[in-house]
Amino acid sequence: MRARIFAEFLLIALLASAALVGGCGPPEGDLGPLTYRLKWLFNVSVVGDLYAGAEGLFEAEGLQVTVKPGGPEKDAIKELELGHAQFGVASADQVIRALAKGSPVVVIAQIFQQNPLQWIYRPDRNRFETPADFRGKTLGVTFGGNDEAIMRALMATRGLSEQDATLFSVRYDYTPFLEGRVDLWPVYRNAQGVIIEDKLRRAGEAVAFFDPNAAGVRFVANSVITTRALLEQHPRTVQKFLKALLEGWRRAVDPAQAERVLAMIQLHDRDTALPLLRQQLDITRQMVRPTAETVIGRIDAAAWKQTEEIMLTQNLIPAAVNVASSLVSP
Amino acid sequence: MLPKRIYQFVIIYLAALGGLQAIKLVFALSDYVIPSPADLWQTAEAVFSRYLGDALNTLAVAIVGHLLAIVLATVVAIIGRLTNWAGALIKVAAYNLQAYPIVAVAPIIFILLGDGLASRLLIAAMICYFPLLLSFIGIFAEPVVDIEHFYTMTGRMRWQLEVKIRAFENNAKLITVTAGSATLAMVGTIVAEFFGANAGIGYSLRIALYQSDLAKVLVALFLIGIFTSLYLALLERIGVWLQHKLVLPTGGTL
């Protein structure tokens, strides 16, 4: 009986291994349907990804790509390793944590040149010009999230510790900020930032945003990733994918295409009013292509290095991972 | 009873860990997807004492929430056993409220009560309250005809006596349902902490998930399992003691 169970287990293990090995070595260009797992739900932050899918840019490159929304419980890096997706979007801190644990992930493009994560505040009650102004204030952070790492890095630039300010645990609902219990609240400037700003302006309140970039903390936002194996074994597929994707982003942030792009976003984001979507798109455009010379998808190696240093300083990774070696422009 | 429950849990936990390691090996996954035993051990060393405090905190809230739910369900079920409109209304309300997923209700609770102890207690109590209530209503609404007939015919039946008879005749069911709902209280507390609280093992789990740190999640799950087993064993022990007291009364009348 035991021998039979052992034999069955061995057979299953062999079959699984064979399937795995078989899945690793098809000839170049024979990958079949591809899955691209985003970091978050369909909204303006993924407008270029949606555009590439909706306008048939992947098909034009001979690829069959399904763009799938992300969410709080989705992790593109894990999906890449498990073979559920071939391309994905992950935050820089996710990538660096994964590299620290031996994940074979590589970054092939950085869509946002400027991290959209900022902090909203009421300028009539507080003035936040530099991190020195944080002293004695209540600062919202998502413990465990990348905004916590950014906030701690900001505080460190002025030698502030947790004793100098109160860190408030942030969740999905903005009530503590709306009620004035928290002075600074983290938002994605191009998404929720616009919505909360609109809500408060309607209530007659002024708002402003604190941008970590302006204080010298350039923590990289989401990036496009794949596995090193896919990059090495199917470089042309990766190139085609990236070409289609970056073309999607180029067109999506082209002001001349704005109406077309807005109509497309409306199909996916029905809860946000058109004027707000327009504002969101304008801000997204500035973050993806801050200047006319900016190459869309450019990987900012210096910002990645700073991100790694921040994580190392805060003991979020046990040792340096040399992230530069995993930044690849195919 | 207690060691048996713990052994059972540890065996299941180790089997699950073994399964994960097999998957990691077969699919050549990195420590980011599934932590290696060494990674798991290092993480346990780093976070165990902190998570132990968090798990104890969660258990304490779960126990208080569970007690609240038992008391409330008993009171409401005694009223709900009536066949008049109040009883019918309570039954319908209980069925309908149970149908709402707690994830939809939790944000409202956190907005109204904040992210402190009150929200955690309420959600823990809510999650185990409705299943308890429905079972208690079923038990208290079911007449024990053979016994109750005598008291009714002799004109000695009171509502207190009716409740006592039905509770006595169904004590095994009551104990089983109460013990079974303990896991729901634990789940409810963890869900509450995960969604909005700022303490407890559910809160730590949420942070670990934010950091995609499965090793921390596995350590947290171990502690949750141990404490749930301990609580269940304790309830079962109380149940055995109660049954013993009820079946072998030391004197007096029902």
Please check whether residue A302 touches B, CB under 8 A: no
Q: For residue B105, what pLDDT band results from cuts at 50, 70 and 90? A: confident
Please check whether residue B52 touches A, CB under 8 A: no
Q: Which amino acid is at A230?
A: L
Whether the pLDDT of residue B228 is over 80: the answer is: yes
For B142-158, b/e burial (b = at least 16 CB within 10 A) is eeeeebbeeeeeeeeee
Alpha-carbon dihedral B233, B234, B238, B241, rounded to 10 degrees:
60
Of A145, A68, A79, A100, nearest in space to B209 by CA: A145
Please check whether residue A314 touches B, CB under 8 A: no
Q: What is the pLDDT of residues B145-202, one digit of tens each?
A: 788 888 888 877 787 888 888 888 888 888 888 888 888 888 888 988 887 777 899 9
Which chain B positions have a beta carbon within 8 Å of A229's beta carbon?
Answer: none
Chain A nearest-CA distance from B207, in A, is: 5
Closest CA in chain A for residue B33: A78
A117 φ, ψ to 5°?
Answer: -75, 115
Please check whether residue B196 touches A, CB under 8 A: yes
Q: For residue B19, what pLDDT band results from cuts at 50, 70 and 90? A: very high
CATH architecture of A30-113+220-326: 3-Layer(aba) Sandwich (3.40)
Tell me whether residue A261 is exposed, middle or buried, using C-beta atoms within 10 angstroms of its C-beta: 0 to 12, 13 to 18, 19 or more.
Answer: buried
Asked if the Cβ–Cβ distance from A103 to B30 is below 8 Å, we say: yes
Please check whether residue A13 touches B, CB under 8 A: yes
Which chain B positions have a beta carbon within 8 Å of A81's beta carbon?
Answer: 27, 29-30, 32-33
CA distance A307 to B206: 23
Q: Which of A79, A141, A166, A171 to mutate to test the interface with B (most CBs of B within 10 A)?
A: A171
pLDDT of A19 reads: 44
Asked if the Cβ–Cβ distance from B212 to A171 is below 8 Å, we say: no
Beta-strand ranges (E) seen in chain B are none
ipTM: 0.79
pLDDT of B2 reads: 64
Considering only CB atoms, A102 lies closest to which of B30, B110, B206, namely B30
pLDDT of B246 reads: 65
* Mean pLDDT value across chain B: 84
Domain residue spans in chain B?
46-247
Q: What is the pLDDT of residues B61-96, one digit of tens each?
A: 999 989 988 888 888 888 777 666 777 777 777 777
SS3 helix, strand, coil % of chain B, rounded to 5? 80, 0, 20
- pLDDT < 50 positions in chain A: 1, 6-7, 10-26
pLDDT of B247 reads: 61
Of B111, B104, B115, nearest in space to B200 by CA: B115
Please check whether residue B212 touches A, CB under 8 A: yes
Asked if the Cβ–Cβ distance from A102 to B31 is below 8 Å, we say: yes
Asked if the Cβ–Cβ distance from B195 to A171 is below 8 Å, we say: yes
Q: Between A and B, how many residue pairs show a Cβ–Cβ distance under 8 A? A: 70
Which residues is A208 bridged to in the sheet? Answer: A121
Which chain A positions have a beta carbon within 8 Å of B33's beta carbon?
Answer: 77-78, 81-82, 103
Asked if the Cβ–Cβ distance from A144 to B29 is below 8 Å, we say: no
Q: For residue B30, what pLDDT band results from cuts at 50, 70 and 90? A: very high
Considering only CB atoms, A173 lies closest to which of B31, B110, B209, namely B110
pLDDT of A31 reads: 76
Q: What is the mean pLDDT of residues B96-107?
A: 76
Considering only CB atoms, A20 lies closest to which of B26, B32, B110, namely B26
pLDDT of A288 reads: 95
pLDDT of A8 reads: 52
Which chain B positions have a beta carbon within 8 Å of A8's beta carbon?
Answer: none
Cα B222 to Cα A166, A234, B6, B201, B225: the distances in Å are: 32, 41, 11, 11, 5
CB atoms within 10 A of CB B159: 11
Of A72, A249, A303, nearest in space to A171 by CA: A72
pLDDT of B184 reads: 87
Asked if the Cβ–Cβ distance from A102 to B32 is below 8 Å, we say: yes
Chain A nearest-CA distance from B30, in A, is: 5
Q: Which fold has domain B46-247?
A: MetI-like fold (1.10.3720)
Q: Which of A101, A182, A314, A326 to mutate to test the interface with B (most CBs of B within 10 A)?
A: A101
Which chain A positions have a beta carbon within 8 Å of B107's beta carbon?
Answer: 172-173
Q: For residue B113, what pLDDT band results from cuts at 50, 70 and 90? A: confident
CA distance A31 to B201: 42
Domain residue spans in chain A?
30-113+220-326, 117-215
Higher pLDDT among residues A43 and B239, named by residue: A43
Asked if the Cβ–Cβ distance from A172 to B107 is below 8 Å, we say: yes
Cα A234 to Cα A18, A49, A227, A241, B21: the distances in Å are: 20, 21, 10, 11, 29
Q: Do domains A30-113+220-326 and A117-215 have the same CATH topology?
A: yes
Counting Cα atoms < 13 Å in the Cβ hemisphere of B32 gives 26
pLDDT of A29 reads: 57
Considering only CB atoms, B33 lies closest to which of A78, A143, A175, namely A78
**CB contact residues (below 8 A), chain A span 73-102, against chain B:** 73, 75, 77-78, 81-83, 94, 97-98, 101-102
pLDDT of A11 reads: 44
Closest CA in chain A for residue B34: A78
Which chain A positions have a beta carbon within 8 Å of B207's beta carbon?
Answer: 143-144
Which CATH number describes the domain made up of A117-215? Answer: 3.40.190.10
Contact A321, B32 (CB under 8 A): no
pLDDT of A21 reads: 40
pLDDT of A1 reads: 46
